[in-house]
Amino acid sequence: MQKEECFYLGKIVSKYSYKGEVLVKLDTDDPEIYEKMESVFVSLGNSLVPFFIVNSRLHKSSLLRIQFEDVSTEEAADQIMGAELYLPLQLLPKLTGNKFYYHEVIGFSLQDSVHGNIGVIKSVNDSASQALFEVEKDGKQLLIPINDDIITRVDRENKTIFVTTPEGLVALYLGS
């Protein structure tokens, strides 16, 4: 399994007990749906290694307390401390309406209410405080904020996201 075929679930942040249990900080709005997993992929070096779960339960909101099958001592838990956890993309819960996963909309076209087709989404930049669509049109790159106030409709069937961009934003890039 390659990282490109998976989504980031969280990171092992601390040991919980002398029996090798660990606490995982989950990167999700719905931690409870990951409480009954049977296995996860743990990033060790450049590989994703499957780890089977004996027991897991939520611990203080977004932390998941996990006992892995072959991790039964503090020393074994030390070996995986700080490791990232991944799951296959097909296990992501389906989103509907205007909600979407960033990887899902790569290649979608962006339709602005004023300017029409303003390009194709090449990637999503979520490293800044405001996530941005990186859109390409006629060799030019546009950065469009991902915001509920801007996105009016997501049409998965036609691979199109309809937006109403702030006045002057598109003209800034395309000069139209």
Query: In whole angstroms, what is the distance from residue 93 CA to residue 89 CA?
Result: 9
| pTM given for the model | 0.71
pLDDT at 10: 94
Residues whose CB is less than 8 angstroms from the CB of residue 152 and which lie 6 or more positions away in sequence, other chains included: 98, 113, 162, 163, 164
How far does CA 146 lie from the centroid of its chain?
14
pLDDT at 164: 95
Domains, the chain, in order of start with CATH, read 3-89 (2.40.30.60), 102-174 (2.30.30.240)
pLDDT at 60: 78
E strands, the chain, in order: 6-15, 22-26, 39-44, 47-59, 63-68, 84-88, 109-112, 116-125, 132-137, 140-145, 151-155, 160-163
Q: Are 66 and 55 spatial neighbours (Cβ–Cβ below 8 Å)?
A: yes
Query: Residue 120: pLDDT above 80?
Result: yes
Query: In whole angstroms, what is the distance from residue 22 CA to residue 70 CA?
Result: 12
pLDDT top residue among 105 and 174 = 105
Average pLDDT over residues 62-79: 94
Q: Are 37 and 28 spatial neighbours (Cβ–Cβ below 8 Å)?
A: no
DSSP 69-101: TT--SHHHHHHHTT-EEEEEGGGSPP--TT---
Residue 43, sorted as left (phi over 0), alpha (psi -120 to 50) or beta, turns out to be beta
pLDDT at 176: 59
Query: In whole angstroms, what is the distance from residue 40 CA to residue 101 CA?
Result: 20
Residue with tokens 């702030």: 166
Q: Give the model confidence (pLDDT) of 125-138 as tens digits.
A: 988 889 999 999 98
Average pLDDT over residues 5-16: 94
pLDDT at 55: 95
Beta bridge partners of 43: 48
